[in-house]
Amino acid sequence: MVKRVGIAALICLLCAGLAKAQSPDPQQVPRVAVLPFAAHTATPRPQLGLNVQELLAQQLVAEGMDVVPLPETRKVSGQTGMGDEAKALQAARRLQADFVLFGSLSQLGQKASLDAKLLDVSGQRKPQVLFAEGVLEDLTGAAQDLAQQVAVRLLAKAVIADVRVRGNERIEADAILVNVESRKGDLLREHTIQKDIRSIFKMGYFETVAADVTDSDKGKIITFVVREKPTVVDVKVEGNDDIDEKNILAAIATKPFTVLQKSVVTEDVNRIIKLYHQKAYFNAKVTPDIQFPRDPRKAVVTFRIQEGRKLYTKKIQFTGNKHFSDRKLRGVMETKQRGFFSWFSDKGVLDREVLETDLDRVTAFYHDHGYMDARVGTPQIEKREDGFYVTIPVVEGERYTIASVDVQGDLLETTPKVKEEFELKKGDHFSREKLRKDLDRLTKHYMDQGYAYVEVNPGIKRDPATHRADIVYNVRKGPLVHIERITIAGNTKTRDKVIRRQLRLAEGDRFSSSALERSNLNLKKIDYFEDVEIQPSEGSTSDAMNLHIKVKEKPTGAISVGGGFSSDDGLFVGGDIVQRNLFGRGQYAAIKAYLGGETSRYSISFTEPWLFDTPLSAGFDIYNWYREYTDFNKDAIGGKIRFSHPFGNWSRWYLSYVFENAKVSDVDEDASLIIKDQEGRQIKSSLIASVERDSTDDRFLPTRGSTHSLTVEYSIPYLGSDSDFVSVVANTGWYIPLWWKFIGFVHGKAGYIFELDKEKKPVPIYERFFLGGINSIRAFDWGEVGPKDPDTGDEIGGLKFGLVNLELLFPLVEKIGMRGVVFFDAGNAFDRDENFSVSDFRTAAGAGIRWKSPMGPLRIEWGYNLDPEPGESTSKWQFSMGVSF
């Protein structure tokens, strides 16, 4: 309070000094005669000259001039402009003026130019030429500018010669002066300096602000004298247990080496309290303490926290709800009651902003179930010792049914067919969600026919007496639109043609909403870009549209590593170097390696996805695979030539030729006969044909869609193969959105090997089916699940198998793309003489984490053996990870 009184006193003293400095002696104020201006306009407007004379006289008086009254001036000069200096001086002498101001107004279109001369009647000063410009219909601003120029020349001692700052240590003078209006060359004004003092003080960096006005031979010098507030040298937090200190310090604005601002410290208290409210500490108290332990200019700010006890939402109840239970309505809300299983999450924390959104969710829920008049009132929140009790009033109203659904306006031949697909039909209960879907379906139908600017307006006419509603979709289709131009931006590496070949629209094509959506999905699925945006815009005509594709490149190369432990290999590590967009051409190249205690595998791959600029894909693989099994070793060198081509919307066929030269050696004397019979060189020459369908929306973290494949391999003796068999493997997987953000995944896989000549050309041991591992049954290592030789116990693989994986996926940290997974695995492989039996499936269950990390995909999963046999471990850890470059 004392500081405020002191500042007010300083301002008053300053203002008194300024008033004295700015109010000149009346005998020293020059007397000015303002003559009418000559008006040069497109059409004669002599009155303008008199208007300029009046405006200038008013502004000069406001600037402190002694102006000859206009009636006297006009008696001497008349009411027309005067352009002769001699006549102007003669009139000024008759009016006993010290100076005379005269000139002309010239029209410049909608603007006007004021050209004036200021003459000293005594002849001691040279004539001054003045100029100002303004709007013809409002010359106030121009007159004010011209009057200020006159005042500057006649009241030179009141002109600001310089503006300075004194007393600042940390805050730059330029940073202070940017907040003031007083400028060099302006007239010194008392009210402007008062405003400047207030503006500097509002910056929040100063304890006191004053202004010192001194004289110089060039005019007035204004010096703003400031005293800075203390500096914060340290910020401390005490009493925090649940929230880490670094998170609190990051949330507040008071930082070391900044100016101490008590208002900011008070705001920081509220920020800290808000942090604690987010953690359910609604009784938290924060007390700021400012100390100056060594220097009165250096402050230490301490925030002392009393966290108190957590308070959660204990109960949420509704009043007025007759048709839906409290539990049903609570299920719609994001705000939840604290339950027994909520200890590991923030479930039950009361957030008033979220609660407000929940009211809209409950209202929408009622509208979706036909209660068109339903209203949800303001919730009552009662804070008790054990938590918050929330009561939400509801007025349900009556439930409406649909009396009729119709489409009017610009109809197409196919419109009636779309109408038959509407979800909302006559006799159904009203639903806003179904109404929205039908609206989208009808709009998309027109847009797929090329009517990009179609307008569909739903009209709902309800009858409160009968509780029935009529729905009419009014269609205005607009022009038939074609694509005029497609531009691409942001692709610093990827070539334009690689992007264009993913598009389902080209220049000249008729617009299609579905094709545009598919184009966007295709660009995302190739996974070359961090962000993809397709922006439509109007073309050169009303029936033309331009598409601007904006992409942001992402790393398409990866160095991936993974590892683990198994009873076969012990510790192992695998890795690969992959470039999915080689030289920006969309080509795939990879070098892969797997190194374990008993296994090594190397491969080189290359794929050209668009051979000869057609969607025919071609590639090859070369590999070397060495493995030491329990009873034998396998060393194989091979290669594959492959082709593929898309068909339909989501499908692709594949055709490959494989040649492999493998050697089975170091067979143990007590090994299985199946293994002993295959010792030596084995050549496989086979054709592989397969079809795949993939409609998922993401490569690593899909939320919807499905994958299906069927693969048939024929090892052909006529092409030099030492084996004669046909292998068939079918695979299917479904991603199903469930409630909230939970995603269900159902996966099934099965295979069968037909031995065409089992006596002379049997199936190689390593071509059989072995289950187990991170992509199979996760409580087992690879190969542990399947037939074993009854005499030796060796794992010999199966000729048929079945596998089922059920997963529940859910977000853990959604912002960084981290998911949790709970899974159940079941499956087994069976030999030639064994029956395929689901009851013999081995089972596992577990949980894990999947993260699309900046370093690449990461999976960590733990599987539990639900029915372990003697000698088997009860659980396994599986993991894989990668690095992007």
Please provide the average confidence, as pLDDT, over all residues in the chain.
87
237-241, 348-352, 822-826 — which is least confidently predicted?
A: 348-352
* pLDDT higher at 547 or 797: 547
Q: Which residues pair with 106 in a beta bridge?
A: 40, 113
Report the pLDDT averaged over residues 2-17: 38
pTM of the model: 0.57
What domains are there in the chain, each with its CATH number?
2-21+158-228 (3.10.20.310), 25-154 (3.40.50.10070), 231-306 (3.10.20.310), 313-395 (3.10.20.310), 401-476 (3.10.20.310), 482-553 (3.10.20.310), 557-884 (2.40.160.50)
Distance CA(110)–CA(737), nearest Å, equals 65
Phi, psi of 148 (to 5 degrees): -65, -35
Helix (H, G, I), strand (E, B) or coil at 843: strand
- Nearest CA among 415, 405, 523 for reference residue 458: 405
Distance CA 260, CA 265 (A): 8
- Local confidence band at 572 (pLDDT 50, 70, 90 cut-offs): low
Joined tokens for residue 643: 């082709």
- Compute CA distances 219 → 110, 158, 178, whole Å: 37, 6, 21
Average pLDDT score over residue span 98-107: 91
Which has more pLDDT, 190 or 460? 460
For the chain, how big is the Rg over CA atoms in Å? 43
pLDDT reading at 265 higher than 50: yes
Confidence class for position 606, pLDDT limits 50, 70, 90: very high
Is pLDDT at 307 greater than 60 in this prediction? Answer: yes
- pLDDT-derived band of residue 10, with 50, 70 and 90 as boundaries? very low
Q: What's the rounded Cα separation, in Å, for the pair 658 and 679?
A: 21
Angle ∠(403,406,412) on CA atoms, nearest 5: 165
For the sheet with 160-166, list strands across it: 160-166, 219-228, 206-216
Please check whether residue 446 is in contact with residue 514, taking contact to mean a CB–CB distance below 8 angstroms.
no
Distance CA(213)–CA(159), nearest Å, equals: 12
pLDDT number for residue 681: 82
The CA distance from 764 to 753, in Å, is 11
Average pLDDT over residues 347-375: 91
Most confident among 17-26, 185-194, 342-351, 500-509 (mean pLDDT): 500-509
Q: What's the pLDDT score for residue 608?
A: 95
pLDDT tens for 49-91 read 888 999 999 989 887 889 999 999 888 888 877 778 888 899 8
pLDDT for position 205? 87
Contact (Cβ atoms closer than 8 angstroms) between residue 568 and residue 577: no
3-state secondary structure 194-205: HHHHHHHHHCCC
Closest by Cα among 668, 599, 679 to 631: 668
Which of 222, 160, 216, 173 has its CA nearest to residue 17? 222
pLDDT in tens, 401-456: 999 999 999 999 999 999 999 999 999 999 999 999 999 999 999 999 999 999 99
Bridge partner residues of 298 (DSSP): 231
**Out of 296-310, 343-357, 543-557, 839-853, least confident range:** 343-357
- For residue 299, give the 3-state DSSP assignment: strand
Q: Of 743, 764, 746, 742, which is closest to residue 755 (Cα–Cα)?
A: 764
The structure tokens listed for 154 are 């006649």
- 658 pLDDT more than 70: yes
pLDDT at 9 over 50: no
- Distance, CA of 70 to CA of 311 (rounded, Å): 79
Q: Residue 634: how many CB atoms within 10 A of its CB?
A: 20
**CB 119, CB 100: distance < 8 Å:** yes
196: exposed, middle or buried (C-beta count within 10 Å: 0-12, 13-18, 19+)?
Answer: buried
Higher pLDDT, 603 or 595: 603
**pLDDT number for residue 569:** 52
Q: What is residue 240's predicted lDDT score, i.e. its pLDDT? A: 92
Question: Is residue 776 within 8 Å of 747, Cβ to Cβ?
Answer: no
What is the bridge-based pairing of β-strands 298-306 and 231-238?
parallel
When mean pLDDT is compared across 1-5, 122-126, 437-441, 442-446, the lowest value belongs to 1-5
Residue 346 in this model has a pLDDT that exceeds 70: no
Is residue 394 within 8 A of residue 319, CB to CB? The reply is: yes
How far is residue 114's CA from residue 221's CA, in Å, rounded to a whole number? 31
Among the listed ranges 28-42, 299-313, 648-662, which one has the minimum average pLDDT value?
28-42
Confidence of residue 25 (pLDDT cuts 50, 70, 90): very low
Query: Quick check: 171 pLDDT over 60?
Result: yes
Provide mean pLDDT across the span 608-615. 91
More confident residue, 244 or 109: 244
Confidence of residue 881 (pLDDT cuts 50, 70, 90): low
Cα separations (Å) of 405 from 425, 430, 467, 469?
6, 11, 15, 9
**Are the beta carbons of 710 and 691 closer than 8 angstroms?**
yes
- Percent of the chain topping pLDDT 70: 93
Nearest to 261 by CA among 164, 171, 165: 171
Instruction: Specify burial of residue 128 (Cβ count, 10 A radius: 0-12, 13-18, 19+).
Output: middle
- Tens of pLDDT, residue by residue over 577-586, are 899 999 999 9
Phi-psi region of 273 (alpha: psi -120 to 50; beta: other; left: phi over 0): alpha
Residue-wise burial string across 44-83, b where 16 or more C-beta atoms lie within 10 A, e elsewhere: eeeebbbbbbebbbbbbeebebebbebeebeebbeeebbe
Q: Estimate to the nearest angstrom the gap between the alpha carbon of 22 and the chain centroid.
A: 57
**What sign has the CA pseudo-torsion 356, 358, 361, 367?**
negative
| Residue 542 near residue 486, CB atoms below 8 Å | no
> Would you say how long the chain is, in residues?
885
pLDDT band at 385 (very low <50, low <70, confident <90, very high): confident
Averaged pLDDT, 178-195: 86
Tokens linked to 779? 């409580």
Closest by alpha carbon to 457, among 435, 427, 488? 435
- Rounded Cα distance between 439 and 63, Å, is 67
pLDDT tens column, 805-849:
999 999 888 777 788 999 999 999 999 889 999 999 999 999 999
Mean pLDDT on 158-183: 88
Structure token digits, residue 87: 């006549």
- Mean pLDDT is lowest, of 57-71, 280-294, 391-405, 667-681, for 667-681
Q: What is the mean pLDDT of residues 146-175?
A: 84
Q: Which amino acid is at 158?
A: A
Q: Which residues pair with 785 in a beta bridge?
A: 771
